[in-house]
Structure 1
Amino acid sequence: MNYEIYRLIHFIGLFTLMFAFGSLFTGEKSTKAAAIGHGIGLLLILFGGFGMQAKMKDAYTVAYGSAFPTWLILKVVIWVVFGGAMVLAKRRIVKGAAAWVLIIALGAASAYLAFNKPALGNQPAAAQAE
């Protein structure tokens, strides 16, 4: 598959995940459909993200000195936090405005990392000198 297909899968997963969180945080009780949507969304995000990484690993190695630059590792950490947020939502540990702010902040941080791809200190010496 090409990069654009992986990107589309990644975005479909993102929309599915956000929809699942929306139905969890607005419903009075957690639904099985929201939990299924959460899992499917996370799976699609992971599949699409690592597919894109596989297509770009040579370019990342040249630009950042590693096939897994720091910004990409941070996106994986955000993915893990999104996975754990389901437990917080189902047990009503985080609810209301705090839940919305948490999910939106995680999504915004992930989008920032994806669009800007900051070097975050692990660029090769040749690229830092420029």
Structure 2
Amino acid sequence: MIHLSEINTLVIDTTTVSITATLLCELMDRKIKVLFCDERHNPKGEVVQYYGSHNTSKKIMSQIKWKNHIKDEIWEEIIKQKIYNQSYILQKYEKENYDKLLGYIEDVEIGDKTNREGHAAKVYFNSLFGI
């Protein structure tokens, strides 16, 4: 028997398991992530608590009201960080082109008009998997 305090994430790796709503609610109350896999054991979805903190709804409404230029700036930063993370993985595993990805970061524009995210993804996967 495992106590719930020892669990951080629960992965349901089969489609034949049954879980009660009571258990799911308890897992959410304890902020334990629950992931479900499909018949091929690939992640399919997760249980997300609506109100993880006292002001979740307020945060969501605030984000919905953001002006477009704020959304664009945040999007730009997300793309830059994503490309940086890809470069880091290539360098960590001694793969080629990590430096090329670092160059793409400087070229990211608001709205990613030059599609640096797409180009970086192509370079990343080709370098990582030797395609």
TM-score range, shorter chain: 0.3 to 0.5
Structure ranking higher in strand proportion = 2
Structure with the larger RCO, 1 or 2 (CA within 8 Å, 6+ apart): 1
TM-score by length of 2: 0.32
| Greater Cα radius of gyration, structure 1 or 2 | 2
Structure ranking higher in helix proportion = 1
